[in-house]
Amino acid sequence: MDKIYVNKMAFYGYHGVFSEENKLGQRFFVDVILELNLKNAGKNDDLNKTVNYQDIYEITKKIVEGPPKKLVESVAEDISEALLSTFPNIQKCHIKVTKPDPPIPGYYDSVAIELTRSR
């Protein structure tokens, strides 16, 4: 299956289980991989046969910068549901949400969740 990658989209959101996260907010990075057939888009040079990258970004932004969720897992689930319901040609989507600065003690680069959903 062909794939579209939109990597490391950066947003500011208010998701988390701690009240400081909901009040102060923090950065989130989102990676999206969409699986779909791109043959007709490539052969015909036709945007209507693929998925517009700007649309992927705007849908993701609306969710990440939207109402707070306790769990990053919920954010990723909402993104996958929105993309699959908006674009019928997507067969499978992989969503990775990274929280680079969670308020937990220790030394690490980031925490992230990744999920895959299909029709």
- The class that CATH gives domain 2-118 is alpha beta
Dump pLDDT digits (tens) for 90-102.
999 999 999 998 8
Angle between helices 72-86 and 53-64 (to 10 degrees): 140
- 53, 6 contact by CB (below 8 A): yes
Dump pLDDT digits (tens) for 35-46.
999 999 999 999
For residue 47, what pLDDT is reported? Answer: 95
Least confident of 3-7, 59-63, 85-89, 103-107: 103-107
For residue 111, what pLDDT is reported? Answer: 94
Instruction: Tell me the catalytic residues.
Output: 99
Angle at the Cα of 38 from the Cα atoms of 52 and 116, rounded to 5 degrees: 75
